[in-house]
Amino acid sequence: MDERIAKANMGRLQRSARGLESAMTQLASLFPLEPECFSPEQMEPRDSLLLDGFRARFSDLHDMLCRSMFKTIARLDEDEMPDVEMTTRERIVLMEKRGLLDIEKWQDIREVRNNFAHEYPDEDAEKAANLNAAWKYAPVLLSVARAVGDYLRTKHRIVA
């Protein structure tokens, strides 16, 4: 893997993690949401936008880790070759072996992210429940991002 690509990915990872942390700081007073009475239309527009930003940043950080960073590590460690790509599942198992994530928690994070991708406008209670789940798992997601960054800095001397 080209070191330039790894450095660029590391910079994107750091920006994505900072964005999620920022959203969490701004939203701390709103959580936990009450699914029974959650209605985005009745919220302050600013809060609704912040929730949308949180949802997007959670999903983006998950995707960044899954699609770019896990692949970067697999290639730098020479577990994956450019002509024979690993599956996402194989990369996740590899990341667990490296001590970068807990596979059961990652599956929960992935489920939350996938639920965001398949939400429907009239299911406010489900939206609230999924946002609460994302809030619960966001620290875990950020911890994986930190572990990946530390691993790349320590093992491969990759710095953004």
Q: Name the pLDDT band for 122 (thresholds 50, 70, 90).
A: confident
Q: How many structural domains are present in the chain?
A: 1
- Provide the CATH number for the domain around residue 90: 1.20.120
What's the chain's Rg over C-alpha atoms?
A: 17
**pLDDT > 70: percent of the chain:** 98
CA distance 113 to 141: 11
* Tens digits of residue pLDDT in 64-102: 999 999 999 999 999 999 889 999 999 999 999 999 999
What would the mean pLDDT of 122-151 be, rounded to a whole number?
95
Domain hosting residue 50, numbered range: 3-156
Residue 148 and residue 17 in contact, taking contact as beta carbons nearer than 8 Å: no
